[in-house]
A and B are shown apart, each in its own frame.
Chain A
């Protein structure tokens, strides 16, 4: 059974291949093709099949993380979209939550709504909060409206009516009417994407879905046809923001769910790898070119959030709770007019990139600092495929920073690394405290090209004593797509009191949602034995605005008393207090339908070499207060399980580099992870 996991990044498309149960995984990287991401995917798959002599028909799984939808949203490259709303409410999308994005800056504007006002159309219809029809839907008016939108170049339509989370009939009627007359038009109704109250977030999610829908559908059609042509018999799956996999049809219907595709896969993978290594409580630390993603995993479970802004407009769907820090390898350091040294938020990105990469960049970046100090290989990276111009890095740090600050080149470069570490450590501390965790009991799980490079400095700054570095950290997201399962979330707003009556409605709704999830899994061809359902009840105390998720068992569903207990408990865990005498409101319920996929069991690291045999070279490296020191550089990928690294050292592998500082001890565990302990 051959399984291929893919992650499409801005610069590279990563592949992870598993050829046998319990066997070694192999890695592959090819430059991304942003104009058509499927090109790099095809190139990669073809190369893998050829070089490893795999028959296409043997491929039993193909999963990928993609930024197609995300990039469309960020760059405003979706299709021209129309929105149909209840009369009196077309500006909901423009008003948003009436906040300005920057407290102290009027020159940074609130983002323009995704749908222009002239394409936001009001129709006569009205349903009350209790679901009663106050005014029927005027279909003729709707038809005329759609007609005019189409004349004006609209290519996709979102429908969002007030209170449709409770009474979706008008939305369904409108959807049906439009589909019948314009069968090729991409239509999204808000109650299908997110049947939950709060009209702005629901409308925004529906609009984004429609806006990216046509192009995403086209992209997936294309990818399917191409892989089929290669002779691969399985459909490519897409990782979505909750870390689960979506089959093609579902991804085409709910493309907005893929907006956090790649990063979510990394966290899912990290949770599994760290749990196997016996450390289920971690902070993930994924350092890329322009940003760093931080997420908390506790008890082996990633944490989820219900809302997130994607370049401005909110998407309200369950997703892995990832905090993004605007600091990555490409972050530019500069000296401001008052002599302050700042790192970021400006980034050199992939192009023009760090000065040392010779692609036209001439600003000093975090990566350049690592090259100046010889922490990164000063000759080449990516197994020799990426030549490095250390002189260029030195020149730019010298000229732009050291000279202006009147300090040495080494001090300036090390300053960049320290400032970036302080910035990253601050975000890590905030995430852990927010989730109520004691940072001293967590391990830092470092991946992405730059994670291991900075992990040791950052862990020290954040006072974390243990670090885990998986094998080939730069391809963790691709690896994560090999570890995930099919899943889709079904939810509904209830707003019922947590009493006997309200609880029976809750149970009934949960059962309905399970039936819907079950039917979906059936259409996706998932065997009954592989279907799993996870239920969540979101609730708050009367008078509150933010609901807290409480997991509930489905067989049997607990009593309302037991649920209330569980809610008080969850409230205490989240906020430190609870109010056992206050009324609890059940805001919404959600069921995640999971179709488990057969996966290889994790490979133990066999073979490998001793430290002495993995020795590559001796290199002068700048370690901070201790100055320049000659360190051993080892090839990480050949190190055998059980090897210990006691002295400061550099560990290099294809996709990443680990810097071991003095006082830190590394050992290779039985899965090949580096476990670093710090004695500070």
Chain B
């Protein structure tokens, strides 16, 4: 029996306070986006802002990136551990990025933490994280799947003070900038990050002044306990049993090697949700490792999505979840493992947690596995005419898992990302490539009462010699699991056609040189199905056939009985 958690003392004040905090995070986020220089922050919105209380509880966060959920916490915890509040002054700001020294998730994500003062004391903190396009390391962009240690991934920054009296430390800035291939952009964006915190701290101070610190404390208490209570209510509704699930990466990131297992067990006990990764394989040589805080963010994302999508991302949510992982595993690697290319592994962490929850959730809330990859394809080379160097890179979506009541969504990004595609017209305007097909991957959804969503096919013809292909993907070996008898989604594929020969590739390709005329066909995986294919409504099956998203051959394999029965009935 769970303990009765007290209701908010003042529900109105709490809701108004929550709106006011979110308004500040929105204003911070808009400034961050508008004032920054690098495309990663400005156009892809790969950043996050948050407000904390003086003890380091997250009160409100604004982000478009689920993988940032709670990722500011690490920076704040470390700042509080490294710097005494007594030494902080109004106008100070702290910087950090390192997964091992400062609770980071990978080096390009640089955090700035700023204390907020009222009447001479620290009453809150504001913080932001921005993804910097390049922080050094062995490849431009600082994310190399083949990096073998954190030292190959760029500059490591422990918690250090970067501003005093709102003056940014020029020496420190120079050191950081000098470690980037784009030094000017780094210096400018770091200044923007400090300015955004200054704005956030002014507004937070004004809000606290307006409400009075006593009322603020009461509202904070209400807000955090309300969030916890909401989550725990959902957790309490799940049976007290342990459910496990295993997901697999094709390999260790090199394109060879054995599959890597991620094992998770989930249970509820004494009002807490436990997520334990015991049984997960050892950390890998490449950069597919998931640091402690990236793991937390992935799990928080799953909990919010599975139990209560509207739940506010604050410490009330985090405090109700306990995460454990064996040290030295791929989801809790030992120093100095590389962890830049964590995203695909994070997707597989989400697959495992979603899978484990299937045994705990009512059927209506369960969803089959989605494609669960973050497949990045890139082609680079020189324009035949101008000789200018170009890079085409795109993260391509796939099929989502089916739910109780709906086929899985076709052609979407899932879990930790939601980035846009590149319009084919833009692709052809900017690069010497011809798009021969951009469509849904036929037959790719797992069968079921509700079928899995379809993956995407992108077929490109290379128009210039010496075009370099790189692919960082996964799920060429293991498809998306169905649920309650639903079928597995089709795996992804990468096929080259050159000189009349067809060549199937693995999910990782590093710098393969292609000639003009080569065709690259990249297919992303489909989602898993929900429920038995035997009870798929005939109308839905016939519509899929009519719409051509399912071939007759595949339909006979997956739905043979009902298809034949339906066809007999027609005659």
Whole-angstrom distance from the CB of B124 to the nearest CB of chain A? 19
Whether A419 pairs with B19 at a CB distance below 8 angstroms is yes
Contact of B403 among A107, A335, A405 (CB under 8 A): A107
- Is there a chain B Cβ closer than 8 Å to A526's Cβ? no
Whole-angstrom distance from the CB of A225 to the nearest CB of chain B? 40
Whether B397 pairs with A88 at a CB distance below 8 angstroms is no
How many A residues touch B, CB cutoff 8 Å?
A: 65
- Is there a chain B Cβ closer than 8 Å to A622's Cβ? no
Whole-angstrom distance from the CB of A223 to the nearest CB of chain B? 37
Give 1 or 0 for each of A559-580: 1 = CB within 8 Å of chain B CB: 0000000000000001111000
Q: Which residues of A contact B418 (CB under 8 A)?
A: 99-100, 103
Q: Please report which residues of chain B, range 22-36, place their CB below 8 angstroms from some CB of chain A when the two chains form the complex.
A: 22-23, 26-27, 30-31, 34-35
Whether B7 pairs with A103 at a CB distance below 8 angstroms is no
Contact A88 to B438, CB < 8 A, known contacts A106-B403, A198-B425, A422-B20: yes
Whether A339 pairs with B233 at a CB distance below 8 angstroms is no
Whether A162 pairs with B409 at a CB distance below 8 angstroms is no
The stretch of A59-67, A139-147, A541-549 in contact with B is A541-549
Q: Of all chain B residues, which has the CB nearest A152?
A: B546
Q: Please report which residues of chain A, range 433-460, place their CB below 8 angstroms from some CB of chain B when the two chains form the complex.
A: 433-434, 436
Q: Of all chain A residues, which has the CB nearest B406?
A: A109
Q: Please report which residues of chain B, range 401-426, place their CB below 8 angstroms from some CB of chain A when the two chains form the complex.
A: 401, 403, 405-406, 409-414, 418-421, 423-426
Contact A163 to B425, CB < 8 A, known contacts A88-B436, A100-B413, A109-B409: yes
Whether B435 pairs with A106 at a CB distance below 8 angstroms is no
Q: Of all chain A residues, which has the CB nearest B400?
A: A106
Whether B429 pairs with A129 at a CB distance below 8 angstroms is yes
Contact of B15 among A100, A165, A342, A407 (CB under 8 A): A342
Whether A341 pairs with B12 at a CB distance below 8 angstroms is yes
Q: Which residues of A contact B549 (CB under 8 A)?
A: 117
- Is there a chain B Cβ closer than 8 Å to A536's Cβ? no
Q: Which residues of B contact A106 (CB under 8 A)?
A: 305, 367, 370, 400-401, 403, 409, 414
Whether B34 pairs with A118 at a CB distance below 8 angstroms is no
Contact A163 to B428, CB < 8 A, known contacts A104-B305, A118-B548, A429-B23: yes
Q: Which residues of A contact B309 (CB under 8 A)?
A: 102, 104-105
The stretch of A90-98, A374-382, A505-513 in contact with B is A90-98
Whether A337 pairs with B413 at a CB distance below 8 angstroms is no
Q: Which residues of B contact A200 (CB under 8 A)?
A: 423
- The distance in angstroms between the C-alpha atoms of A545 and B423, with both chains bound, is 11
Q: Of all chain A residues, which has the CB nearest B210?
A: A463
Whether A118 pairs with B546 at a CB distance below 8 angstroms is yes
Whole-angstrom distance from the CB of A465 to the nearest CB of chain B? 15
Q: Please report which residues of chain A, range 105-133, place their CB below 8 angstroms from some CB of chain B when the two chains form the complex.
A: 105-107, 109-110, 116-118, 128-129
Q: Which residues of A contact B409 (CB under 8 A)?
A: 100, 106, 109-110
Contact of A415 among B11, B233, B305, B546 (CB under 8 A): B11
Whether A337 pairs with B301 at a CB distance below 8 angstroms is no
- Is there a chain B Cβ closer than 8 Å to A495's Cβ? yes
Contact of A433 among B31, B37, B43 (CB under 8 A): B31
Whether B438 pairs with A95 at a CB distance below 8 angstroms is yes
How many B residues touch A, CB cutoff 8 Å?
A: 72
Q: Which residues of B contact A341 (CB under 8 A)?
A: 11-12, 15
Q: Which residues of B contact A105 (CB under 8 A)?
A: 305, 309
Give 1 or 0 for each of B182-214: 1 = CB within 8 Å of chain A CB: 000000100000000000000000000000000
- The distance in angstroms between the C-alpha atoms of A339 and B8, with both chains bound, is 6
Give 1 or 0 for each of A61-100: 1 = CB within 8 Å of chain B CB: 0000000000000000000000000001111101111111
Contact of B413 among A98, A162, A426, A576 (CB under 8 A): A98
Give 1 or 0 for each of A402-421: 1 = CB within 8 Å of chain B CB: 00010100010011001100
- The distance in angstroms between the C-alpha atoms of A105 and B412, with both chains bound, is 13
- Is there a chain B Cβ closer than 8 Å to A1's Cβ? no
Q: Of all chain A residues, which has the CB nearest B440?
A: A91
Whether A197 pairs with B8 at a CB distance below 8 angstroms is no
Whether B16 pairs with A422 at a CB distance below 8 angstroms is yes
Whole-angstrom distance from the CB of B516 to the nearest CB of chain A? 15
Q: Which residues of A contact B188 (CB under 8 A)?
A: 577
Q: Please report which residues of chain B, range 356-386, place their CB below 8 angstroms from some CB of chain A when the two chains form the complex.
A: 365, 367, 370
- Is there a chain B Cβ closer than 8 Å to A246's Cβ? no
Q: Which residues of A contact B406 (CB under 8 A)?
A: 107, 109
- Is there a chain B Cβ closer than 8 Å to A556's Cβ? no
- The distance in angstroms between the C-alpha atoms of A281 and B400, with both chains bound, is 46
Contact A97 to B420, CB < 8 A, known contacts A89-B439, A91-B439, A575-B42: yes
Give 1 or 0 for each of B157-190: 1 = CB within 8 Å of chain A CB: 0000000000000000000000000000000100
Give 1 or 0 for each of B39-59: 1 = CB within 8 Å of chain A CB: 100110000000000000000
- The distance in angstroms between the C-alpha atoms of A289 and B309, with both chains bound, is 26
Q: Which residues of A contact B411 (CB under 8 A)?
A: 91, 94-96, 98
- The distance in angstroms between the C-alpha atoms of A95 and B455, with both chains bound, is 10
Name the residue among B37, B414, B424, B440 with the largest chain A CB count within 10 angstroms: B424
Whole-angstrom distance from the CB of B415 to the nearest CB of chain A? 9
Contact of A95 among B8, B230, B410 (CB under 8 A): B410
Contact A429 to B27, CB < 8 A, known contacts A98-B396, A575-B42: yes
Contact of A545 among B16, B19, B43 (CB under 8 A): B43
Whole-angstrom distance from the CB of A9 to the nearest CB of chain B? 28
Q: Please report which residues of chain A, range 477-515, place their CB below 8 angstroms from some CB of chain B when the two chains form the complex.
A: 495
- Is there a chain A Cβ closer than 8 Å to B539's Cβ? no
Whether B424 pairs with A199 at a CB distance below 8 angstroms is yes
Q: Which residues of A contact B405 (CB under 8 A)?
A: 107
List 10 A-B pairs, minimum CB-CB distance, nearest first. A339-B7, A415-B12, A98-B397, A117-B547, A422-B19, A91-B439, A105-B309, A129-B428, A88-B437, A104-B309
Known: A165-B425, A199-B424, A426-B26. 20 other contacts (CB 8 A): A91-B440, A95-B421, A95-B440, A95-B456, A97-B421, A98-B396, A100-B413, A102-B309, A103-B64, A107-B367, A109-B409, A118-B548, A129-B425, A200-B423, A341-B15, A415-B12, A422-B16, A425-B23, A434-B30, A576-B34
In the complex, 21 of the A-B residue pairs with CB atoms within 8 angstroms, ordered by the A residue number, are A95-B438, A95-B439, A98-B397, A98-B411, A99-B419, A107-B365, A118-B546, A128-B434, A129-B425, A129-B429, A197-B423, A338-B226, A339-B226, A340-B14, A342-B15, A415-B11, A418-B16, A434-B30, A436-B34, A575-B35, A575-B42
